[in-house]
Each structure stands twice: as C-alpha cells, then as structure tokens.
Chain A
Amino acid sequence: MSAHPTTSPAAPGSLPGALLKNRHVSGWLLASPLGLVLAVFLLLPIAMIAVVSFWGATEFSIYPDFQWDNYAFLLSSPVTYKVFLNTFKYAVLTWIFTLGIGFTVAYFLAFHIRSLTWQIALFLLCTIPFWTSNIIRMISWIPFLGRNGIANSTLMSMGVIDAPLDWLLYSDFSVILAFVHLYTLFMVVPIFNSMMRIDRALIEAAYDAGATGFQTLTNVIIPLCKPGIMIGSIFVVTLVMGDFITVRFMSGSQSANVGRLISNDIALLQYPSAAATAVILLITVLMVIGILLRFVDIRKEL
C-alpha cells in the first residue's frame, strides 16, 4: 500500500518516479515476485500437463500431437466412472469421520481446557504422530489389523469372535481408517484456530439468553467455526482425492482411486493418458472446492 494517496499531486520528479507512486503500479510490482513464482512453479507445470494430455504415446515414447484419444478412452471407459465414484466415496466418508473427530477434539481443546499452557501442550500431543512419515504410520496398521494381527487375536482371546475378521485389513474399512488416522489433524488445526477466536462473551450472552448447550453449539459456535471447517474440509478432500499410496497399501491393491490410475499410467510410460486423467481430476477437485466455497465466504470470515 502506497503511503501517498493517488490523488496527491505527483512529485515533480521523473516519469518512473511518478509511475512508482501510482498505487496500481506499485501494487502490481509488489505482487509480481509471488506471481512469478506461482506462474513458473504452478501454472506452467499445469499448462504442460494440459498440453501433454493431448499428445500421443507408443509403447516407449510420446510424441507431440493434438488428438482427443486420451480423453475419448478415459471418458468412454466404465472403469473411469467406477474409479471416480470410488474416489468420491473415500473422500466423503473420510470427510465425515475427520470432521466429526476433528470438531470434537478441537471443541474439547478450545472450550474444556481452561489454561493456555495445557491447551498448547495437548495440541502438541496431537501432532506427535506426525513426527514420523506418512507411510510408516499407514503401514503400522497392517500387522495390527491382519488376519493373525493384534486386533484379531485380542478379540478372539476376549471371546468376542470365533474366527479372525478378514474385513479388518485389505478392505474399504482399512482404507478409510488409514485416511482418518492420517488426515484428522488437518481438520483439528483450522477448526481449533477459528474456535480460539470466538469471543467468549458471545457464549455467555447465549447462556444468559437462556440457550441450552446444544443451542449454543448450533447457533453460535458452529456458524462461527465455518471458515475453519471449510478450510479443514478442503485440506482433507483434496488430500484424499489425490492420494494413491494409502489406497494401494491398505486395500492390498484390491481397489483403485484416480490417483492409482495415474500412477499406473506413469509406471507404464503412458504419460499422455496420465496427464488426461490428471486434468480431469484437477477439474473435479476444483469443482468440489468451488461448491464448498459457496457455503462460506472465506475472505469475509477471515
């Protein structure tokens, strides 16, 4: 922001000096480093992917071309729709569970813990699992859930079940479980952040006005947490929709999401086909985010 209003008479200097004083010019100049970085590292690669998605491929090479083959095959295959549906299923289920757990955890931290020290301590406790890699945390579920794993042997020794439960591992259950485990923190952090900024006087006012605890929750806290919920939702949904390694490991390669289609194509040197799938996935994710942003004006709320 320029300190001088644009209406003030331009300094009797050179023309560049006058230009720099113009708030539109200086604004663009200030934004240009970030703009440049985004253009080179975000827009250019995406444009490249979009271009390659029209190219052709042979067994071992790709060649510049303009053809609709990749999209035609992708959009005409029933597998694509099945896989996209599966991707949505994982995203929606994960979203429901992470939101439920994340909101509860954040609520507990923000409103039940009184001292700031304890809030910070417990919040840090939540991040401890993130000190190790994503894949390690995911794989550690495998021996736990396996046919002869800890979960099954515990249940059997307790007499709850007679035979091992096969659906614990290599199933949609284990995939969702891993997703929830991996991504709940991405929900906790933004929700906790918006809860901490709620004026406590509003809650007292609601209490004084005779609202029950539940009414306070639905009429005061949840509306005021909307930006946090939305940011958390965007994190979780985009992460789940782009993930392929969790689905591969936890389903034992038995189910597929869009990420796996792309990684398969890349492994088999079918870059144009992978690019076309990536473009469709990008459009889908942008649409989902667009819909989410309809529910809340992030700019206004922040």
Chain B
Amino acid sequence: MTKATRTGLSRRRLLKGAAAGVAASAFPAPMIWAQNIKDVTLRQFGTGVSNINEVAQKVKEDLGFTLEMTALDSDAVTQRAATQPKSFDIADIEYWICKKVWPTGNLQGMDVGRIKNYDKIVGIFKDGRLTPGSTIAQGTSPNSVGFTDGPDGTSFADHETGWMTLIPTIYNADTLGIRPDLIDHPVESWAELLNPAFRGKASILDISAIGIMDAAMVCEAMGEIQYGDKGNMTRDEIDRTLAIMTEAKKAGQFRAFWKTFDESVNLMASGEVVIQSMWSPAITAVKSRGIPCVYQPLKEGYRAWGGGIGLSKNLSGIELDAAYDYINWYLEGWVGGFLMRQGYYSAVPETSKNYMTENEWGYWFEGKPATEVITNPYGDAMAQPGETRDGGSFEERMGHIACWNAVMDENRYMIRKWNEFIAA
C-alpha cells in the first residue's frame, strides 16, 4: 500500500480503476460509447409521416448522439436514396420504394441478431401473415422485400434469412375519406368513388404507384375486372383499369387530382370533393378544422403501406453501432407510442403499450370506446369519450388488407399509361 502511494496510486483511484475494469469487461461497448457517441451525427431522411423533430430530440436525450432529420415527399425520397448514397446514413423509406432502391446497392443488410425485439415484430413483416392462419395480401407486401441474403445482398429473399433490408417502423391500412355531412347514403364499397352521384365531387391521388392501386380496388369492386394480382398487373389489366378511369374522368367524375397532403386536406375541407383517396393524418387535419370527415372502412378491405429504416452502405464502425442502437431504441416503445397516438401502428405494438395509457391503448389498438378524451402527441383532441376508432381494432384493420402499395414488373408501362390518363 505504501509502495502504491509512493507511485501516486491512491486506494481510491485503484478502486475506481478496478470498478471501471470490471464494468468494461462486462459491457465492453458502452464504455467506448460514453466517450465518443456525442460526436456521432446520423443523417436520416424520409417521408413526413415519421421524420418528426420530436424523435430526433428524444434520440439526443436517450442515446446521446445527434440525428438530423429531413422530410421529403415519396418521389424525392426515391430519388435521393437511389442517386445520392453519400447524402444519408439512415433511409426511412416505404417498402414499395425499397423495391426500386434496394437493387442500387446503396443500402446494407441488417443482422437481426443485433435487433433485440426482432422476435416481437409483427408477422406481416416476417412471413406476411398477421396471424398464422391469415393469407398474404397482394402487392409489394413487406415480407417480400424485407429480407436479403447477407450484408451485401442486392436481391430479395422470399423467407427469413437473418438479414433484413428495412426494419419496419410504421404502417397503416388506408381507405377512402368521405364527408358524411355532404353524402346522403351509406358508403360501403370502393366502387362508390365512381358512383355518378358524386360526379365532379370525387378525387384520387396523382402518385401513380398508389393511385393505380386505388383504381384497381375500385374496378374490382365494380365487378369490371378480376385481377390475378392487383399489385402486379399485366399490361392488359393496366390498360383496362385506366380505360375505366379515363372514361370516368372524361365524364367529369373527378374534381381534381392531388399530389400532396395539403392539397388533399384543402379539397376535402373546402367541400370541393366529398369522396376521395386520402391518408389517415389528412382526415385528422380536416377534422381538426371542425369539419366532419370519416376514414370509411369498406367491405373490399384496405390498401396498406408500410415504412422502415434502412442503413446506408457507407455506415461502419461507431456510426454503424450507433445506428443499431437507434434501431433498438426505435423498437423499444417510445416512438411506437408516439406514432400510435396518431393512428399509425408500430412494428412492435406490445412495447408501445408501456408508453400509452390504458385508455389510449384501448382506443387505438383494441378498438374499444374511449373512456376519456383521446389526444394526439401534440395535445389536439382526436376523439371524445365513447367514440371508437374507424375500422376497429388492430386485428380487424390489418386483417382486412386487400393489397399493399406496389411496384409492378410492368411499372414503366404503368407510369406511361398513368400519364396518359392524367393528360386525357
């Protein structure tokens, strides 16, 4: 001991060193972390639905590193992911976009062994089935583009391989939005979009990959076309679908087409249209202006979409570790709760439950009537006591998916035909 003191090594310092040594051997990574993680900055981009500043702030608080968020529209997201691989570390993209972007080789496969909650991710992202008995919906279902062969794989695997392309983060089932105060009969089918009663008061979105799916839901509901697979149409099916839509357009069925979230909100809120394809938060935006608007469940089912986080090929070392930390944090529940309180679903719903009240969980996930006022994460009231969520519980909603947003084999042909439809 005296010897030690002579060399400047006090008992206290020795103990401290020993404790650090024990800690370092038990958790080797976090010790390195503590020093360097504050310097890490990850650049994330994606669509507006999930690229929210609150998430970046929470990352800084919980994980210590900086997350820069850029929100873009779907087309811009595709362009950036495909053409500017050095401009991002994390791509928050939709599964149908993944089908276009993955083959460029700008993203790297993710080792599911490093994803703590992998086992709790809902089945639709792994084998395509919500419950073991359910069927796989048509279109680019997340499971069909969710796996690859290894960290450098450039093609998709049709089963779980241990390497994911995207970690699912957010998804929902979409349907038509209506103005119940301006419509005098119950709307129960997608076919209502082309109902002549709504001449000059209907709208559809002008994003071809999504619009064509809505059009297909309508044509199938009308009994005009039986598709082999709505998410992967033949040229003949594309021609027939757009012929029906063009005919309706020429007859003056549509008031306008929309491309951005705001346009859809304004069309509905101003009463220019009474029925249109719409996104769930747009419905909320209309409602928050005090105008009645319903996200109407339809008997043919929903058109679903999902988004996930992909890692840039350029990530390695401490940045890659930080990215895995971020993914694990993402699935731990705080973000899930944040998203679910807006009407989306989390990839791991059961962890989100810890961050929601019983009332919120009951309303958003279980389809139960609200017991108190339901607010979104920003504090706006979304539902009054006694109201239930449109479309019911998670199983009822996600169990009735007819198709997923898709990129078809005949995608380029479809785009050309879609442009003809718009120009007609």
A residues adjacent to B (C-beta < 8 A): 59-61, 73, 77, 79, 82-83, 86, 142-143, 146-149, 166, 169-170, 248, 251-256, 260-261, 264, 267-270
A166–B82 Cα gap in the complex (Å)?
Answer: 42
Nearest residue, chain B, Cβ from A249: B263
Question: Beta-carbon contacts of B73-109 to A below 8 Å, as 1s and 0s?
Answer: 0011011001100000000000000001101100000
Q: How far is the CB of B222 from chain A (nearest CB, A)?
A: 22
Given the complex, which residues of B lie within 8 Å of A59, measured CB to CB?
A: 100, 103, 407, 411-412
Q: Can you name 22 A-B residue pairings with CB atoms under 8 Å?
A: A59-B412, A60-B78, A60-B101, A73-B416, A86-B423, A146-B270, A146-B272, A147-B270, A170-B256, A252-B256, A253-B206, A253-B256, A256-B419, A256-B423, A261-B423, A267-B75, A269-B79, A269-B82, A269-B83, A269-B100, A270-B412, A270-B415
Given the complex, which residues of B lie within 8 Å of A143, measured CB to CB?
A: 270
Given the complex, which residues of B lie within 8 Å of A147, measured CB to CB?
A: 270-272
A148 and B270 within 8 A (CB):
yes
A255 and B423 within 8 A (CB):
yes
Q: Is B364 an interface residue (CB 8 A)?
A: no
B272 and A79 within 8 A (CB):
no
A77–B419 Cα gap in the complex (Å)?
Answer: 11
A147–B249 Cα gap in the complex (Å)?
Answer: 19
Q: How far is the CB of B396 from chain A (nearest CB, A)?
A: 34
Q: Given A59-B412, A146-B272, do A83 and B423 touch, yes or no (CB 8 Å)?
A: yes
A56–B257 Cα gap in the complex (Å)?
Answer: 30
A260–B206 Cα gap in the complex (Å)?
Answer: 12
B256 and A148 within 8 A (CB):
no
Given the complex, which residues of B lie within 8 Å of A251, measured CB to CB?
A: 256
Question: Beta-carbon contacts of B278-301 to A below 8 Å, as 1s and 0s?
Answer: 000000000000000000000000
A268 and B75 within 8 A (CB):
yes
**Count class of interface residues, chain B:** 35 or more
Q: Is B116 an interface residue (CB 8 A)?
A: no
Q: How far is the CB of B242 from chain A (nearest CB, A)?
A: 12
A242–B181 Cα gap in the complex (Å)?
Answer: 41
Residue from the set B100, B415, B419 with the largest chain A CB neighbour count within 10 Å: B419
Q: How far is the CB of B211 from chain A (nearest CB, A)?
A: 10
A280–B9 Cα gap in the complex (Å)?
Answer: 81
B270 and A60 within 8 A (CB):
no
Q: Given A59-B100, A269-B78, do A254 and B419 touch, yes or no (CB 8 Å)?
A: no
Q: Is B200 an interface residue (CB 8 A)?
A: yes
Question: Beta-carbon contacts of B389-424 to A below 8 Å, as 1s and 0s?
Answer: 000000000000000000100011001100110111
A59–B96 Cα gap in the complex (Å)?
Answer: 12
Nearest residue, chain B, Cβ from A73: B416
Given the complex, which residues of A lie within 8 Å of B258, measured CB to CB?
A: 252-253
A253 and B257 within 8 A (CB):
yes
Q: How far is the CB of A229 from chain B (nearest CB, A)?
A: 32
Given the complex, which residues of A lie within 8 Å of B206, measured CB to CB?
A: 253
Question: Beta-carbon contacts of B237-252 to A below 8 Å, as 1s and 0s?
Answer: 0000000000001000
Nearest residue, chain A, Cβ from B78: A269
A287–B268 Cα gap in the complex (Å)?
Answer: 43
Q: How far is the CB of A148 from chain B (nearest CB, A)?
A: 5
Q: Given A60-B82, A147-B272, A254-B257, do A268 and B415 touch, yes or no (CB 8 Å)?
A: yes
A254 and B254 within 8 A (CB):
yes
Q: Is B148 an interface residue (CB 8 A)?
A: no
Given the complex, which residues of B lie within 8 Å of A169, measured CB to CB?
A: 272
Selected contact of A252 from candidates B104, B257, B407, CB within 8 Å:
B257
Q: Given A60-B103, A146-B272, do A252 and B255 touch, yes or no (CB 8 Å)?
A: yes
